[in-house]
């Protein structure tokens, strides 16, 4: 039995390491903590390299809505910006896994989740399929 491959993306991001600069890390942690116990969401800007995805800037989405266990922003408000490579949001529950809603509303190529308590050990990065991607922190 053969399965159709849904994802024909040849440069699969599965093998890539997602690199977050220290500044991006700091911004995500501070933002998450600031909004706690509400969920916060940020957009990530960066670039693809051969075997890496470098995230070097965070962008606060326009008209972001913060709620408990819920964060969203109207995607039609967003500029068509190819430098946005994904999003980051917090899980005040501490669960380091994307919810079905997270995967349904996937934006960009990567999804960073930071769980409570917000420290560098409580960060995970996922692809569109909800699979964990390797990540590391790099100097700015
Ligand atoms: Zn979530």
Tens digit of pLDDT for each residue in 102-134?
998 888 899 999 999 999 999 999 999 999 999
Q: Two tokens at 78?
A: 């967003």
Distance from the CA of 1 to the center of ligand 1, in angstroms? 34
Domains and CATH numbers, the chain: 13-138 (3.40.140.10)
Distance from the CA of 44 to the center of ligand 1, in angstroms? 15
Distance from the CA of 60 to the center of ligand 1, in angstroms? 16
| Closest CA relative to residue 42, chosen from 53, 54, 29, 92 | 29
Which of these ranges, 12-16, 22-26, 34-38, 44-48, has the smallest mean pLDDT? 12-16
User: Who's near 33: CB < 8 A, 6+ residues apart?
Assistant: 118
* Spatial distance between the Cα atoms of 135 and 55, rounded to a whole number of angstroms: 10
Mean pLDDT of the chain: 86
Question: Tell me, what's the pLDDT at 50?
Answer: 87
CA distances 49 to 9, 18, 52, 58, 117, Å, are 15, 10, 5, 18, 31
pTM: predicted TM-score of the whole model, two decimal places: 0.84
């Amino acid at each position: 039995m053969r399965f159709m491959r849904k994802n024909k993306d040849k440069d699969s991001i599965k093998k890539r390491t997602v690199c977050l600069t220290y500044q991006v890390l700091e911004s995500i942690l501070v933002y998450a903590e600031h909004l706690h116990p509400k969920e916060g969401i940020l957009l990530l800007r960066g670039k693809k390299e051969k075997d890496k995805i470098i995230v070097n800037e965070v962008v606060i989405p326009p008209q972001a809505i913060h709620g408990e266990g819920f964060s969203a922003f109207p995607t039609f408000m967003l500029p068509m910006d190819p430098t946005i490579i994904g999003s980051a949001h917090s899980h005040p529950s501490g669960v380091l896994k994307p919810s079905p809603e997270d995967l349904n509303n996937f934006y960009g190529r990567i999804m960073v989740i930071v769980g409570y308590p917000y420290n560098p050990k409580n960060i995970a990065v996922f692809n569109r399929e909800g699979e964990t991607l390797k990540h590391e922190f790099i100097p700015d």
